[in-house]
Chain A
Amino acid sequence: MRDVAIIGVGMNKWGELWESSLRDIFTEAALLAIEDAEVDHIDSMYIGCMSSGLFVGQEHLSSLLTDYLGMGPIPATRVESACSSGGLALRTGLIDVASGMNDIVLVGGVEKMTDVSVHGATFALSTAADQEYEVYHGVTFPGLYALMARAHMHRYGTTRKQLAQVAVKNHYHGSMNPLAQYPQKITAEEVIESVMVADPLRILDCSPITDGAAAVILAPLDLAKKISKKPVVKIIGSGHATDTIALHSRKDLTEIKSTERAAKIAYEMASKSPEEIHLAEVHDCFTIAEICVIEALGFAEKGKGGPATEHGMTTLGGKIPVNTSGGLKSKGHPVGATGVAQAIEITKQLRGEAGERQVKNAKVGLTQNMGGSGGSSIVHIMEVV
C-alpha cells in the first residue's frame, strides 16, 4: 500500500441554500479543493451522499457531478453509509490511491436537505434506522439518541447540564468558523429551556438540517511532497466498522461499539494512542452522541464523557479540543458532506490555517463519522509531515 496525503480542501458556507442546487453546491466545493491543491486534473472521484434520491429526487450522482465539474469521463463512485457516507467516501478514495490504481483523487460529500418539508427530511433521515422494527413504531432519530441519553444518565449519572455543555462548546467553537450554519454562541440555560423534542433531548441538543458540500484532494505521499506548496497532511490511520442497525439489538445501549472498533483499527494502523491525538472532529449529531463517542475513542473513561466535557477537556485550550469547527451542531450537518468536512477541519488545523480557532502545535488529528444510531463508523487519523 502507498502512503496517502490530503493536498487540497474546499468548502463553502453551509446553511439553507435555497438559491443553489445540489449540483452547484457540490461543484463549488470541488472547484475550491482543486484550486487549493493546484492540480490540473483528477483521475477519479468519490462522492459521499446519503439520500439525494429522497431529498431532491436525483440518483446517479457519479455521472451528474463529474459532468457538471467538467471532469467527464473520469470514473466516479457514489458512496452511501447514511450519515457516515462522507467518511466512507474518504476511506474509499484512500484505498483507491493507496492501491496504486489512481493518483489524484477527489473525495467529496454533499447533501441538499431543504428542498423537502421537515416531514420529508425526517423521513429521509429515518431510512438510516430499521424501517420495520424501529421506524414503524414511531421512533425518530432524536428519539433513538434520547433512548441512549436516558440509559447513559441512569447508569453513569450523566447530567442534563453536561449534555448541554456539548452544545455550548460546539457553538462557541462554531462562532469562530465563518463557514458555520449557526455561528451564534448559546448558553446552557438556553439549551435546557429550548423546546423538547424527545425527552431528555431538546431542540438545541440536535444538529440542524443543512445544505452543504465539502471536498478534499488525495494524492500519493511521494507525489504530494513534490507538488504541494502547503504542509502535507498524511492519512496515517483508517478504521471502519459496523454494528446492528437496530439500537435495541445491542448488548449495551450506552456504548457505540462500531466507533470503538473503528478507532482500534485506526490507532493500530497509525501506531498512535488516544493520548497522542491533539484534536478531533467527532459526530455530534446529538449532544449525547459526542459524550458516547469521546468515550469510545478513549479520550474519556467509560461513563466519564459528561464530566470531561463539563470540565473543559474538549474545549479549545483544553487537553483535547473536540469539534473546533463547531461540529455538526453549529457548523451544520448536510449528512453526506459531514465526514469530508471533518477531514477539512483537521487538515486546516494541521496546516496552521484555522485562524481564531487554531489549536496550538497541532500535529496529529482524528476524525470520527458515524451512520444511524451507530450502525456504522469510520475513523481517520492524520499527521502533518
Chain B
Amino acid sequence: MSSPRYWRGIPQRYRLEAGKCKKCGKIYFPPRLICDECKSREFEKVNLPKEGKILTYTIIRVAPSQCTDQAPYAMGIVELSAGSTGKDGVKILSQIADCDFDKLEIGMPVRIEFRKIYQEGEAGIICYGYKCVPV
C-alpha cells in the first residue's frame, strides 16, 4: 500500500472518525460528501462508539496473501451502539480478535480495539486499524 493511501485512511482506521449529517443526523462511516437520505452536504465530525454487537460472523480459513500468517481468523459485521438516538447503529466489518471460535454467536457484545491488521513483508508498511474483541 502506498504511503498517501495509508495516510488518508488514518482518521477512520485509528480513531473511527465518521461524518454526521447536520440536517438529518444520519452517520456515515467513512465520512461522505453528500447525504444519501436528505442530500445535504453539511456534516460534522463525530467519533463512533467503541461498543457493539455481532450481526453475523465467519472464520476465514483461506486468507488473502497479506493475511495468510494470521489464518484462521474470525471476522464479523458489527453494529455499533446507537445510544439513545433511536436509529440503527453504524455497521462495520472487522476481524474478531482474541476469541474462541466455538463460542462466537450472533448478538454477542464486542468492543473495538486498536490493533495491527497486517504487515507488508519485512520492509513494507505495518497497517493498523480497528478490530473487535468479545466483551
Interface residues of A (CB under 8 A from B): 119, 122-123, 126, 132-140, 142-143, 146-148, 150-151, 154, 195-201, 246-249, 251, 253
Contacts and interface: CB of A to CB of B under 8 A. Distances in A.
Contacts of A136: 9, 117, 127, 129
Contact of A151 (B55, B88, B93): B55
Dominant SS at the B interface? Answer: strand
A148 B55 CA distance: 10
A133 B30 contact: yes
Given A122-B64, A248-B92, A146 B117 contact: no
A280 to B, nearest CB: 27
B59 interface: yes
Task: For the complex of A and B, list the 9 residue pairs with the smallest distance between their C-beta atoms, beginning with the closest.
Answer: A146-B58, A151-B56, A138-B67, A119-B65, A199-B59, A248-B91, A248-B93, A248-B77, A150-B56
20 contacts: A133-B92, A135-B64, A138-B63, A138-B67, A138-B75, A138-B95, A138-B118, A139-B60, A143-B60, A143-B75, A146-B58, A147-B56, A147-B75, A151-B55, A197-B61, A199-B59, A247-B77, A248-B93, A249-B91, A251-B88
Contacts, number: 92
Contacts of A142: 62
Contact of A147 (B66, B77, B118): B77
A138 B64 contact: yes
Contacts of B93: 133-134, 137, 139, 147, 246-248
B106 A137 contact: no
Nearest to A203: B62
A224 to B, nearest CB: 42
Contacts of A154: 56, 106
Contacts of A201: 58
Contacts of B66: 138
Contacts of A197: 61-62
Contacts of A249: 91
A196 B61 contact: yes
Contacts of B94: 137
Interface of B: 9, 30, 55-67, 70, 73, 75-77, 88, 91-95, 101, 106, 117-118, 127, 129
B77 A253 contact: yes
B64 A150 contact: no
B92 to A, nearest CB: 6
Given A123-B64, A248-B92, 8 more contacts: A119-B65, A133-B93, A138-B95, A140-B63, A143-B58, A147-B58, A248-B91, A249-B91
Contacts of B63: 138, 140
A135 B91 CA distance: 16
B117 A137 contact: yes
Nearest to A150: B56
Nearest to B58: A146
Nearest to A200: B58
Given A119-B65, A247-B93, A137 B129 contact: yes
A150 B106 contact: yes
Given A248-B91, A253-B77, A132 B62 contact: no
A195 B72 CA distance: 13
